[in-house]
Chains A and B, each alone.
Chain A
Amino acid sequence: MATLSNPPSGMIVNANDAPNQPPPLLQTGMFAWLRENLFKSTFDTILTVVAGGISLALIVSIITWSVSAANWFVITQNLQQILVGTFPREQLWRVNAAALACAFALGFTLYAYTRLRRVSIWALGVLVAVVVVAPMLIRLTTPLAPTYLAAGEVTIAAGTQTEVPQSVVGFVGRAGETVIVAVGTFAPIRIDADGVMSAPPPDDAEIVTLAGFADRAASAVVNAAAARLNTIATITDIDARLAGDLLTANQRAGLTDDRDGLEVPPVVTEVYGVNRAPVDAFVRVVNADGTIGDVIASATLDDPADVLEAVLPADSWYVLEKATAEGVAILRATGIYPVLERNLSQIDDAGGSTRVSEYARLTDRYETRARRPQIDGANVPLLVITDAQYRGTKPLPDYLRLYLAPFLDQFSTFLLPMLIVGIVGYFGGMGVGVLGRDARSEGQRVDMRRPARAFTSWLWILYFFALAFLVYGVAGLDALGVALLLGRFAWVGWAYYAGANARHAWGRAALGLVFALGLAQAVIAERIDLSQPFETWLWKIVGVLVWLGVGVLAAQRGASMRERIGNAPSVRGFVGASGVWLFLLIVPVMVLSAANTTNDLLPITDTNRWGGLLLTMLLTLVSVVASFPLGVLLALGRRSSLPVVKGTCIAFIELVRGVPLITVLFMAQLLVPLVNPALADIENVFRAMVGLTLFSAAYLAENVRGGLQSVAGGQEEAARALGLTGWQITLFVTLPQALRAVIPALVGQFISLFKDTSLVALVGLLDLTGMARSTIAQSEFAGLQSEIFFFTSILYFVFSYIMASISRRIEASGSGAARRTL
């Protein structure tokens, strides 16, 4: 038979006759990849096994810790502080508005500069779906952990703790919730007249497995049982070691001493008479003034089937009274959960501040400021987070219900609006592209992104102003002020399109009208009153002139852009921009007047209350924006031919680069008030901003200097030959090339600045790191450093990584040296 290896003579072998064999299993596909990358040689295999083992152990231990041992209440209860610090609650809408505006601008920029892949959109959609749906699923499928409460009059001693069960405990509840109380651990044991027990008392192992919240007395019983089991285990361990022969004399002496000091205490259930007698339990309402009201449910709990069930009538405080005749009874309650007490200072209408206690229930976001229950003027003990922590190992359902669901809830509360607004921004970019697309290229492929790109920088400038006004505030801003403020920015766009149409006669008339309206608008906005002393209106006149100058620049830009965009888009743009201007002038006045708001819409906030992620972002943004021009100026000054300027710049750069950032911040804190006594009142935040700006400017100057050195000398000579003066050469020839060459280094410097803002925690500001440190300083959350620093690190990492990825994409897209080789 003819085969490939044995062809008949004279026949040309046809490759199509080759028999089909499956590819060798171990040479292709995943196995090939494994052999090539992980098991190439013996040494490689050993390395893989060792490294894999270590990393697997590490990952498993982190996940186990995070799910069962970590106490994430420190995050779920403090998320607002971590994100915005102690920003006044009633002003939080301003921060939310700033965040939404940022999302809009980001969406716009995303449209203008990237092409979203379908995979990313799907991934984002899946993520959002999970974040929104998961909490609901979790709430439906897993029950809340129970709370264990102790009743009785016995003193319980566990180690150094001595606790007495409380007969009355206060808790908060909402209308319609059900509170169920039953005997928790095991059936009560009765001792009859002859001293015979109805059932043998269980060992401590049953008590130790209680998983849930527990008040102090109940957790003391659990601790006592756990301590007893621990002692037994330790004694067994020491005996085993002493019986072996692997101990030095020193160790043997030490272990014998330890062993002699240990003795097994009696069974805890016997010592404290756990569950010996029936428990009388009552649930009572608490009136609005704090006095205790009527009973709404009562029961005598004699065996596990007996249940006290109470449906709460209203959102308010309630108390549970429990008493047992003998020993200690451990009750299992659902619907009673610990609260976190927070003392807030509230600013009332008169301007003074009062202290208000707010109680937040741990398991959901229910908060109340109602008066806590009192008996004869003394506070009733509450189930508070410091006493009733859920410590120890938690099963997975409890982790999901208590930590993950609330966190995802809070996360989606601010994620979803931002996402929606971001999508709106994306389509806004598309809209701008549609409106402004080049009419001449109809029929060809239209690049809608170019108009959007041109608009992006204006959008971010606008955003910067909006951020400043929203977060810091403006004195005496009313509805008309808002309208005129927004109108100013819209007016600049209007002037741009007016300039684009200036070649027509009607265009020139329109331009005159635009500028007249602009002048009127500015004068009204600034409230120029010439009868006042001239200091007040001099700067305002300067401000008006600056705005008019910006308008002139915009009109010039529009006129020069007219060459590139057709007639139709210019007219369309003019009409559109005038519509936007009118809209922004009229609608805010109407809306805000209808809403009947106060005169001062954006009062100036107390910068000492800025904190958390908000402060970090503000410091980064302001320092980046302020240090960039300063750094460029320093770099140019260093190359100057004037010796004083050059010397000053060199001295400043080398001095600031040679000292650590913390000392620069320290100097800013100390020296700013000394420079000018009038500045002694300047807040810490601004001093820190000054310090960060100066520091960053010095490093930026060096990066820009590298870029300036990379520009070929012939460029300057050619520019001079063309007749440009010194400043024109720098501005139009040298700087653009220099900056483009060092964009990666500049972005890297900005990312470092973001991380370096954490140092302001050491000079007393509460940024993200400072907020983390101060949260653990609170007694309710003491000892939870791992959790909060883990979370803080993840926040920093996420932002830094995103910025670094953007930087890599900018690099890869051909900025820097790669571009110049065109």
Chain B
Amino acid sequence: MILVVVALSALVNSILGALAARNLTPNFVFLDSRAGFELAGAGDYTPNDSYWAAFGVGLRNTLTVVIAGLVGATIVGILVGIFLLSGNWLVRTISRVYVEILRNTPLLVQIVVVFFVGVLALPIPRASIQVPAEGIVPIPLRLVVYAAALFFGARAVRGLAAADWRARMTLPMLVGAILYVEFGFARAMSGLNIPYLIALAVGMIVVALAWRGSSGGRFTLIGILIGQMSGVLLVAAGVVPNAVLRIELQPVFYLNNRGFFYPTLLPTGRFAVWALFVVLGVVVAAAQSIYFGRIKELTGEIQPRTLYAITAILAFALIGWIIVGAQPIPSLIPVVQDGFGTLLAPDAARENGLLTLDDELQIAPQPVIASVPRPRGLRFEGGASLSPGYIALLIALVIYTSAFIAEIVRAGILAVPRGQLEASRALGFTYGQTLRMVILPQALRVIIPPLGNQYLNLAKNSSLAIAVAYPDIYAVTGTIINQTGQAVPGIVLIMLSYLIISLIIAAGMNAINRRFQIVTR
């Protein structure tokens, strides 16, 4: 071990000596000097801020990607893991292909593909993908009639025995009538709708084949035919309403090659007071939960505590909203018009376009206002955005990690003894209930340690952001090292950041792991 110590010290000495030869003594003071480089999408960071500020931006970006990535990967991974065990061959095979492709290609290639082939191929801002698509959507009132008919029809047959002919034929009749009225008779022109007839014939043949030999199919077919004839009668009698409700849709989300634009909520001047109401509501809800918990303990009756708590919070929020909104808007506000300060009525000021965002926030009657992105030329006003690099990195990280998590989930579910599944089926649980209440809690014991490993991998893989020009810790610190030449402090900084992030994730997973281990024994 003496050799080890000697070797290490020789290493350190030579590094320091080489650095000293270039007049670079390692220290951390240089981080206070002016940064001098731009960072895309960094909010209020300017090149005049210090290197520490730049590093802070990088740290914030990494944490954003990591947290969003962890949540997304877990959800997608659990879903795909359950699909891998589905009874449906097609779903199983598609999931298997998904997992194999993603696990056998490098993450860097996936990130680059998602970025160049996916994100950069999105349309230009002028032709963004809009959600919901801008336009006028006509909702025919007939749909309401259909929904009501189906609802009441289902209710009417609920009490009847399953073999009763009325129970078996009612729904097929209604469905048949609806199909005919909606599709079978072409509105714009009179006459038969040939494709519809062909589709109907094919569908009936399929139904006949699938239910061959059972009487349920017979009733379904007869029901649908009677429904078709009723539909003809209804249309001939002219009973079908043609009224349409026109709803104008304004897009709220925009997706284009400059990023993803989404609305945000901004707190106004009255937010603080409303927040007090909400906090009060939370306190009341907590008190309520404790109170009803005591009642449950004493009497043994189940109390809907969650419902009461949510109701309390919502009630207080609503009351607070109304009370806060009831305060009047000031009739005159100071604005700057033509270089002079004057007082104007708010409406007049808004019409003349003299209200800044801060003014709007001051006078708004609601506690929060929604800032929706609106296109203006090439940019978007309002709302917030996610940069294309962030989107590509996030999507690639989520799907890559989800493939590994899917395998882990599959192994965990398969590790639960088969008798558990059989016993819960014997008790009458549906597959969904079995999964949720019996299998997943036991599977989690096996899943959590390797899951923690995958979380660490995701946190470290986020350093590939440099491939898509997203400024994370590694990218920013790399730039700092290149600009100042201080390699050693920079490297120490990078290593410390990633080590701390890894430690936090590992500690969190250990705590969760301990909790799950305790519950079972």
Contact = CB atoms under 8 A, between A and B. Distances in A.
Given A658-B460, A666-B474, 4 more contacts: A245-B136, A246-B136, A655-B499, A786-B117
Interface string A232-260: 00000000000001111011000000000
Majority DSSP secondary structure for residues of A touching B = helix
Contacts of B87: 37, 40, 44
Given A47-B88, A758-B106, A800-B104, A660 B463 contact: yes
Majority DSSP secondary structure for residues of B touching A = helix
B487 A671 contact: yes
Interface in B1-60: 1, 4-5, 8, 11, 14-15, 18-19, 21
Contacts of B487: 670-671, 674
Contacts of A52: 90
B466 to A, nearest CB: 6
Interface in A733-786: 755-756, 758-759, 761-762, 769, 772-773, 785-786
A229 to B, nearest CB: 20
Interface residues of A, number: 56
B134 A55 contact: no
A246 B109 contact: no
B350 interface: no
B474 A660 contact: yes
A758 B108 contact: yes
A660 B461 contact: yes
Interface string A607-645: 000000000000000000000000000000000001011
Nearest to B495: A659
B113 to A, nearest CB: 5
A663 B498 contact: yes
Q: List the 6 shortest-distance A-B pairs measured between CB atoms, nearest first.
A: A37-B89, A800-B104, A644-B1, A660-B460, A660-B463, A758-B106
Contact of A800 (B14, B90, B105, B136): B105
A648 B4 contact: yes
B464 interface: yes
A797 B91 CA distance: 22
Given A248-B136, A797-B104, A670 B491 contact: yes
B107 interface: yes
Interface residues of B, number: 59
A251 B135 contact: yes
Contact of A662 (B11, B103, B138, B474): B474
Given A52-B90, A644-B4, A797-B101, A658 B499 contact: yes
A769 to B, nearest CB: 6
Given A37-B87, A675-B15, A246 B104 contact: no
A797 B107 CA distance: 12
Interface string B456-490: 00001111101100000010001001000001000
Contact of A663 (B5, B212, B494): B494
18 contacts: A38-B89, A38-B90, A55-B94, A245-B136, A250-B134, A644-B1, A655-B495, A658-B460, A658-B503, A659-B460, A659-B495, A670-B481, A758-B107, A762-B467, A769-B108, A793-B113, A796-B106, A801-B100
B228 interface: no
A48 interface: yes
B427 interface: no
Contacts of B117: 785-786, 789
A674 B485 CA distance: 12
B4 A671 contact: no
Nearest to B19: A674
Contact of A758 (B94, B109, B463): B109
Contacts of B467: 762
B502 interface: yes
Given A660-B460, A674-B18, A248 B248 contact: yes
A675 B487 CA distance: 13
Nearest to A666: B478
B189 interface: no
A676 interface: yes
Contacts of B250: 248
Interface of A: 26, 37-40, 44, 47-48, 51-52, 55, 245-248, 250-251, 642, 644-645, 648, 655, 658-663, 666-667, 670-671, 673-677, 755-756, 758-759, 761-762, 769, 772-773, 785-786, 789, 792-793, 796-797, 800-801, 804
Nearest to A770: B108
A246 B135 contact: yes
Interface of B: 1, 4-5, 8, 11, 14-15, 18-19, 21, 87-91, 94, 100-101, 103-110, 112-113, 116-117, 134-138, 209-210, 212, 248-250, 460-464, 466-467, 474, 478, 481, 487, 491, 494-495, 498-499, 502-503
A673 B21 CA distance: 13
Contacts of B494: 659, 663
B207 to A, nearest CB: 11
A756 B106 contact: yes
Given A660-B461, A663-B495, A785-B116, A762 B466 contact: yes
Contacts of A797: 101, 104-105
Contact of B491 (A44, A667, A675, A773): A667
A661 B109 contact: no
A181 B163 CA distance: 80
A364 B105 CA distance: 31
B88 A662 contact: no
B134 A251 contact: yes
A246 B105 CA distance: 45
A677 to B, nearest CB: 6
B90 A48 contact: yes
B109 A769 contact: yes
B170 to A, nearest CB: 18
A789 B136 contact: no
Contacts of A47: 88, 90-91
Contact of A761 (B91, B100, B108): B108
A793 B18 CA distance: 41
A671 B210 CA distance: 71
B476 to A, nearest CB: 13
A674 B15 CA distance: 5
B15 A51 contact: no
Contacts of A40: 87-88
A51 B80 CA distance: 13
A789 B112 contact: yes
Given A645-B1, A648-B4, A671-B487, A248 B106 contact: no
Nearest to A670: B487
A499 to B, nearest CB: 35
A39 B107 CA distance: 36
A659 B136 contact: no
Contacts of B134: 248, 250-251
A439 B101 CA distance: 49
A793 B109 contact: yes
A747 B107 CA distance: 19
B210 A769 contact: no
A758 B110 CA distance: 11
A245 B116 CA distance: 38
A404 B385 CA distance: 43
B135 A662 contact: no
A51 B90 contact: yes
Contacts of A666: 474, 478, 491
Contacts of B136: 245-248
Contacts of A804: 104
B88 A26 contact: no
Contact of B91 (A39, A51, A251, A677): A51
A658 B466 contact: no
B104 A789 contact: no
B108 A675 contact: no
A762 B464 CA distance: 9
Contacts of B15: 671, 674-675
Contacts of A251: 134-135
A801 B99 CA distance: 12
A66 to B, nearest CB: 13
A40 B107 CA distance: 37
A663 B459 CA distance: 13
